[in-house]
Amino acid sequence: MIFASSAKHIKELDQAPDSVLSLNGAAKHILQPIYTMNGFNWFDRRGVEGVGFVKTLRTLLTNNLPQLLPRLSIATKTLVWVIHDLCDHPEYVEPLREELQTSYADFERSTKGLPLLDSFLKESARLTPVESMSVRRCALAPFTFSDGTRLAPGDWGCAPSGAINLKEEYYPSPHEFSGFRFVDPAIIPDKQSPQINQGKPSKLVDVDESFLMWGTGRMACPGRYYSSAFMKVIVGQIIMNYDVALVEPSAPRWFSWRAALLPKDHTLVTFTPLEKKI
Ligand code: HEM
Nearest residue (by CA) to ligand 1, atom 42, is: 223
Classify domain 2-273 by CATH number. 1.10.630.10
Q: Which of 221, 226, 228 to mutate to test the pocket of ligand 1 (most atoms within 8 A of CB)?
A: 221
Give pLDDT tens digits for 139-197.
999 999 999 999 999 999 999 999 999 999 999 999 999 999 999 998 988 766 678 99
Put residue 244 in one of left, alpha, beta given phi > 0 → left and psi -120 to 50 → alpha: beta
Give pLDDT tens digits for 191-219.
666 789 999 999 999 999 999 999 999 99
Q: Are 240 and 269 in contact (CB under 8 A)?
A: no
Q: How far is 18 from 218, CA to CA, in rounded Å?
A: 11
144 burial via Cβ count (<10 Å: 0-12, 13-18, 19+): exposed
Give pLDDT tens digits for 225-274.
999 999 999 999 999 999 999 999 999 999 998 889 999 988 999 999 99
Pocket lined around ligand 1, Cβ cut-off 6 Å: 23, 66-67, 70-71, 74-75, 78, 134-136, 213-216, 219-223, 226-227
Start-to-end Cα distance in the chain? 51
3-state class (DSSP) for residue 260: strand
CA–centroid distance, 271 to ligand 1, in Å, is: 30
Q: Which of 214, 228, 233, 262 to mutate to test the pocket of ligand 1 (most atoms within 8 A of CB)?
A: 214
Domain map of the chain by residue range?
Answer: 2-273
Q: Residue 159's beta-bridge partner residues?
A: 134
Q: How far is 244 from 266, CA to CA, in rounded Å?
A: 16
Q: How far is 178 from 89, CA to CA, in rounded Å?
A: 9
In this structure, which amino acid lies at residue 63? N
221 annotated to a ligand binding site = yes
CA–centroid distance, 67 to ligand 1, in Å, is: 6
CA–centroid distance, 86 to ligand 1, in Å, is: 25
